[in-house]
Structure 1
Amino acid sequence: MMGLKQIHLLGWLIISSIAYGQAPELSADSISYYRKALSRKPAIRVSAHRGNTGLAPENTLASFRIALQRQVDYIEIDVRTTKDGQLVILHDGNLNRTTNGTGPAAERTLADLKELSAGKGAGESFQAERIPTLAEVCQLVSDWNAHHRSQTNLYVDCKAVAAEPLVAMLTQYGLLNDAVFYGSDTFLQSLHKVAPKAKCMPSLRKSDELTAKIAALHPYAFDVNATELTKDLVDQLHMQGLRVFVDLLDEGNRPEYYQKAAQLGVDVIQTDHILNVYRTLARRATK
C-alpha cells in the first residue's frame, strides 16, 4: 500500500507526463519487473542521456528525478563553468536551444543563468525549471542513493570544466568513486593527475586508436562508436578489464540495436528512451 509521499510522487509523474505531451507509460511496479528481468543474465546497464525520459526537459532537475524513479544505473550530465566560476549542467555552450536566453553560457554569471527558464518548448508546467548547478544534482543523487536500494551513478560529460573543482564537488557528496568521466583526452589526462583513481572513459571512434589510448589514459571504460562495435573488440576490451559503453541515440534507437549491443556483451547502453531499452532487454532476458 502506497504512503502519502508515494501517492504525491506518482501523481507528479502522471501530471508531468501529460504536460509534456505523453501519456504515462507504466507504473513503478513495471520498472521493478524490468530491472529484475535484466538481472537474470549478465547485467547490461542503462544510462539516461542528459537525464532524458521523454517526460521532462533535458538536463533539468525534473528530468533527473524521473530518471531516478526509472532506476537507471547512470544519469549523464554535461558540466560547464559560468563566468563567475560556478559549475552548471547544460549541454550546449549556447543558451538558445534549451532556454529562453541567448548567447554563450560562459559569459553569464550563475545568478544570470538562474533567471532563465530551462524548459523551452516543454510546456507551461516546466517553465519554472532552471539550469541546475552541479551541487544541486549531486545533492539529488546522493539523497536518492541514501534512501533507495537501486543506486544511480553519474556519467559526467566534461564539456567546459577544470578537473580540480569537479573532483572537489563530487568528493563532497560521496559520488566521485562511482562516477565515470567522459571528455577530451587532454581533459582526462588532467583529471588523472588530480584524481588518479577516477574512472576515465575516453571515446573510441576507431579501433586502431585502442593501444595508444590505453597507454596514455589508463581508462576504466571506453565510449565506443556504435559502428565500430564487434564481438572481437568487446571481448578484447573485457580481457583487459575495461568496460564498454555505447550511445544508442537517434538512428540507433531501435530494438535491433539494443539486442545487438546485448549480444555483443556491451556493459552500458546510453539512451534517450529508457523504457524502450528496458522492454527490449527484459524480453530477451526472460526467454
Structure 2
Amino acid sequence: MHTTYARPGGTPSHGRRGSHLPLWKRWTPSLAGLLVLISLLALAPIVLLMVRLGGPGSNPRTVSLTTCQKILSPPLVCAHGGDTSAAPPNTHAAYMLALEAKVDCMEIDASRTADGMLVAIHDRDLQLITGRKYVTTGDLTLEEIRQLDAGARHPRSFHGEKVLLLEDALRLVSKHLVQIVVDVKIGPPRGEEGLAQDVVDVMNRAGCTNCLVWAKYDTLPLAVQALEPLRKVGYILNNETHPNRREESFVRHAGMQVVGAHWAVVDETLVKLAQRHSKEIYTWTVNEGGIMRNLLDIGVAAIVTNHPRKLKGEIHAARNACKEAGYVV
C-alpha cells in the first residue's frame, strides 16, 4: 500500500522519507566512509614495511630515517673464510662462492706450519679435517698439510679441496675486495717469534695493500704496525660488562683503526664510543637474520658472516623498505 504524508504546513510527500533531508546530512555517511578508506590507504605502506622487514620468525619492525641514513653507507659484507654456508672454510671453493656473491670483504685465517710457512686455515678446521682433537697447524709441515682433503667432511662436490698458502689465498681474492681481514693465529712451535715479519712479507708479495691485520693478542698487530706504520690494523675487544672497564678496553690503542667485537657485545653505545675515538667496529660471526637487521640499525662498519648472501639480502630488503617509506637511498 502506497501511503502519503504531509510535511508540516504543506504538500504531501510520497514514500522516500529521507529524500528531503539537507544535502550535508545525506553526504555525511559517504564522507565518513571516504575518510576511513583514506586512513586505511595511509596505513597500508606501514603495514607492508612491517611485513617486508619482519621476515619469517622475527618481530615486524618499521624503518626510521636514522636506519635509512645508515643504509646509504652499509657495513662491509665480510665473508668468514669465504662463503662457508656450504663450502669448506678457507678453500678455493669458498673464496670463489664469496666472490660470486660480490662481497666487499673476507676474513682469512693465517696459521704457521712447523716449517714456518703461513697457510690459510684455523686449528679448529684442521682438527675436523684430520679427526685429531688437539692437533695444531704448528704440529704439521707444509707438505703434510698439502696432503689433506679440506673438503672431505663436506658434500662430494667439495672433495679434494686443498689448504692454501696464505699468499695464494691473498693473490686470489685481494683485487676483488675492498678489505681483507687477516686473522693471525699465534701458536706453537714458535709463537710470535718472527711472525709479524712473516705476515708482512706475505702480504707484500701478494700485493695485498687492502689487508688489515688483527689477532687475539695485541702484541701481533702492534708489531705489524711497527714494521708498516701505514698498514691498517685492529685489536679484539675484551668481553667487559662494567662501563668503565669496557671503555678502557675499547680505547686501549689509539693508533689502531679497527676494533673487532663479538656481535653480542655490540650496541649503540659502543658505536658512539667508536665514533668519538675515530675507530671502526667489525663484528663477528653473524648468521641470524634478526641479529643482522639489528646491526644494520646500529651502524657498524663491517659484519663478518658465514652467510654473505643472506646478509646482502637483508641490506637489499632494508634499502627497498626505505625507498617505499619515501626515504632516498
Range class of TM-score, shorter chain: 0.7 to 0.9
Match of 1:159 in 2: 185
Match of 1:62 in 2: 93
Match of 1:133 in 2: 165
TM-score by structure 1 length? 0.76
Give the RMSD, CA atoms, in angstroms: 2.5
- Asked if 1:200 is matched to 2:200, the reply is no
Is there any run of 5+ residues in structure 2 with no aligned partner, and where?
A: 1-67, 187-191, 322-329
Structure 2 SS opposite 1:57:
coil
Match of 1:52 in 2: 83
TM-score by structure 2 length? 0.67
Q: CA deviation at 1:257?
A: 1.1
- Asked if 1:114 is matched to 2:146, the reply is yes
Q: Evaluate the alpha carbon distance shift between residue 223 and residue 111 of structure 1 in structure 2; reply closer, same or farther with a 3 A threshold.
A: same
Write the letter of the residue equivalent to 1:52.
D
Write the letter of the residue equivalent to 1:122.
H
Structure 2 SS opposite 1:131:
coil
Write the letter of the residue equivalent to 2:184.
C
Choose from 103, 107, 122 the match for 1:72: 103
Contact 1:83-1:110 at 8 Å conserved across structures = yes
- C-alpha separation in 2, matches of 1:81 and 1:196: 23
The percentage of aligned residue pairs carrying the same residue is 24
Match of 1:83 in 2: 114
Render the CA deviation track for 1:215-255: whole Å, top value 9, x for unaligned. Answer: 44621111123232221220221232211111143xxx322
Match of 1:172 in 2: 205
Q: CA deviation at 1:42?
A: 2.0
Q: CA deviation at 1:39?
A: 9.9
Q: CA deviation at 1:118?
A: 0.8
Contact 2:221-2:233 at 8 Å conserved across structures = yes
Q: CA deviation at 1:48?
A: 0.6
Match of 1:277 in 2: 311
Contact 2:82-2:94 at 8 Å conserved across structures = yes
Choose from 128, 145, 154 the match for 1:97: 128
- Asked if 1:220 is matched to 2:257, the reply is yes
Match of 1:14 in 2: none
Contact 1:200-1:217 at 8 Å conserved across structures = no
Is there any run of 5+ residues in structure 1 with no aligned partner, and where?
A: 1-36
Write the letter of the residue equivalent to 2:177.
Q
Choose from 296, 304, 315 the match for 1:262: 296
Structure 2 SS opposite 1:286:
helix
Q: CA deviation at 1:81?
A: 0.7
- Asked if 1:239 is matched to 2:276, the reply is yes
